[in-house]
Structure 1
Amino acid sequence: MRTVIFGGTGFVGLNLAEVLLARGHEVTLYDRKQLPVGAERSLVDYRERLTLVQGEITDVERIDVLLKQGFDAIVLGAAITAGDQLERSTTSNILEINVMAQMPILSAAIRRGVRRVINLSSASAYGAAGHRYPVLDEETPCDPISFYAISKFTSERSVARHAELFGGDFLSVRLSAVFGPWERIGKVRDTPSLQFQILAEFARCGLALMPGPGVKDWIYAVDAAEAVAVLIEAERPRHRLYNISSGAAWSALQWGEAFAALHPGLQCRLAAPGESTFIRLQGPERAPLSVTRMADEFGWHARFGCAESAAAMSTWWMQHREEI
């Protein structure tokens, strides 16, 4: 299959590219940024099936020319992942990039007969509902609060409405708290995972002081990518929306301790009273996402729990720690 990933050189996009290439597909990455040097080295064996196109997500003509080449699937992964600081400074840009920039891409996908479009949404779309229900499934009523959450929820509805009007095979996925290889922060992403922050502290001084446990239904980026790949390859998905999560909640503190145990000299612990920490918690805790729909329909389950992801990330970190 031929797949184009918008936002392809970003965190989730690179993990998805690696998975799709390993499964034998052709991948085009569309992004305003170049491949990180480490990713370019990691993907060198796939260079015959990998194409990088640099461009803005708002460049309608450039994107239309690209889609004329013919693709089986499109992944909408370009987004401003905003915390409070970015929300204050780029409010209109969040809606422009996360919602409005998708419109011409969806129209082009319909014109060009693209078989599958997958919109990468977020668990943040549940918003305040995450505090009112013990588990969040795809039928849980949403109550998005932040502009980022509002934009993600709106993108889901927009993609679904395009499918209803024009008959496209378009889906959205709500990703839980993702962490793992190729994560980095920048002008369009100011919400690094706790695991990313823990590794940054390990690299800086060997000690990661946590302001709190950081309990979430974390999902390793490789697992998230494999779930999206399953949906790209699926013959006829029964739903327009799927949760992607490990399905189990555990703490980033526990993960940091497991990672540190693999590297003598590193330590991760809660900050004592009066100790300052550079690590920031991102938002309040919420209920975990149900993954029953993905499990029942496709038999998909996350492979990496807390200990397994710590071990896998340890191996990756030793190879790429200078690039974090």
Structure 2
Amino acid sequence: MKIVIFGGTGFVGLNVAEALLARGHDVTLYDRAELPPSARRALADRGERLTVVQGDITDATAIDALIAEGVDAIVLGAAITAGDDLERASTARVLEINVMAQIPILLSAIRHGVRRVVNLSSAAAYGAAGARVESLDEDTPCDPVSFYAISKFTSERSVARHAELFGGNFLSVRLSAVFGPWERANAVRDTPSLQFQILAAFARAEPAILPGPGIKDWTYAPDAAEAVAMLIEAERPRHRLYNISSGAAWSALQWGEAFAALHPGLQCRLAAPGEKTAIKLHGGDRAPLAVVRMADEFGWRARFGCAESAAHMSAWWMQHKEAI
């Protein structure tokens, strides 16, 4: 298939691109940011099956022209992943990019007969509901609080409503606590995972000192990308919303210790009482996401747990240290 990933040179977009290219598809990355040099080298052997288009997600004319060339599927991955500081600075921008910019893309997809649209949403959409239950399935009533959470929940409803009104084959996925290859902090993402912050400390030849264990249902990016690829290829998905998560909670501290054990001299530990640390926890505790829907319908389960993702990321890190 010919697939366009909006936000394609970003963290999750690049992982999805790698998964789709490995499955034989032609992929176009549309993003305001250039392809990072390390990713350009890693993907150099993909040849004409990979195209990179620099453009703004709000440029409806350019986007419509791109879709009009013939597109089978679209991934809506362009977003501002905002913590409190970025929300305060760019409240309107969060809603503009995460919700309003999608609407011209959806309408263009309908006009030009795009077969499938997958909207990358977030576990943040559950909001305060995550503290009230033991497991979050797709039918759990949401209670989004932050502007980021509100924007992702609204994007899901907007995508579903467009599909209902115009007959598009559109769906959304809620990604939970994603980390892994190609992650980076930038002007539109100020909530890097603890794993990224651990690796950044290691890259500075410093110990990774955590303010807390950081327990979440962490999801390795290649696992999330495989799930998205399955949904793009699926003939007739039975639902408009799917959770994507490892399905099990474990600590970033445990992950950092497993990674450090593979590299003598590295250290990951909790901060001592009163000890300062540059590493920040983002988001409070919440229940893990249930992945029964993905497992039952498509046979998908995350392949990488704590130890497996640490080992895989260690090998990736040795090749791409400059990307951290």
TM over 0.5: yes
What SS does structure 1 have at the residue aligned with 2:14? helix
**Separation of aligned partners in 2, 1:299 and 1:205:** 41
Give identity over the alignment, percent.
79
Report the alpha carbon displacement of residue 195 of structure 1 after superposing the two structures with TM: 0.1
1:204-232 deviation digits (Å, cap 9, x = unpaired): 13311110000000000000000000000
Partner in structure 2 of residue 179 of structure 1:
179
**Separation of aligned partners in 1, 2:48 and 2:55:** 21
**Separation of aligned partners in 2, 1:100 and 1:47:** 33
Report the alpha carbon displacement of residue 322 of structure 1 after superposing the two structures with TM: 1.9
What SS does structure 2 have at the residue aligned with 1:171? strand
Unaligned runs of 5+ in 1: none
What SS does structure 2 have at the residue aligned with 1:205? coil
Trace 1:192-203 onto structure 2 (pairs within 5 A).
Answer: 192-203=192-203
**Separation of aligned partners in 1, 2:192 and 2:147:** 18
**Separation of aligned partners in 2, 1:205 and 1:4:** 38
1:88 matched to 2:52? The reply is: no
**Separation of aligned partners in 1, 2:109 and 2:246:** 31
Report the alpha carbon displacement of residue 281 of structure 1 after superposing the two structures with TM: 0.3
Q: Is the 8 A contact 2:218 2:245 kept in 1?
A: yes
After TM superposition, the score normalised by the length of structure 2 is: 0.99
Partner in structure 1 of residue 305 of structure 2:
305
Q: Is the 8 A contact 1:206 1:265 kept in 2?
A: no
**Separation of aligned partners in 1, 2:103 and 2:79:** 14
User: How many residue pairs end up in the alignment?
Assistant: 324
The amino acid across from 1:147 in the alignment is F
Report the alpha carbon displacement of residue 323 of structure 1 after superposing the two structures with TM: 2.2
Q: Is the 8 A contact 1:6 1:76 kept in 2?
A: yes
Q: Is the 8 A contact 1:26 1:49 kept in 2?
A: yes
1:149 matched to 2:149? The reply is: yes
**Separation of aligned partners in 2, 1:161 and 1:236:** 18
Partner in structure 1 of residue 161 of structure 2:
161
Partner in structure 2 of residue 289 of structure 1:
289
Report the alpha carbon displacement of residue 104 of structure 1 after superposing the two structures with TM: 0.4
The amino acid across from 1:250 in the alignment is W
Partner in structure 2 of residue 257 of structure 1:
257
**Separation of aligned partners in 2, 1:186 and 1:276:** 23
Q: Is the 8 A contact 2:215 2:250 kept in 1?
A: yes
Partner in structure 2 of residue 268 of structure 1:
268
Trace 1:37-116 onto structure 2 (pairs within 5 A).
Answer: 37-116=37-116
Report the alpha carbon displacement of residue 76 of structure 1 after superposing the two structures with TM: 0.3
**Separation of aligned partners in 1, 2:303 and 2:47:** 27
1:323 matched to 2:323? The reply is: yes
1:211-259 deviation digits (Å, cap 9, x = unpaired): 0000000000000000000000000000000000000000000000000
**Separation of aligned partners in 2, 1:323 and 1:238:** 38
What SS does structure 2 have at the residue aligned with 1:275? coil
* Superposition RMSD in Å: 0.5
What SS does structure 1 have at the residue aligned with 2:204? helix
| Structure 1 runs, 4 residues or longer, greater than 3 Å off | none
**Separation of aligned partners in 2, 1:184 and 1:70:** 31
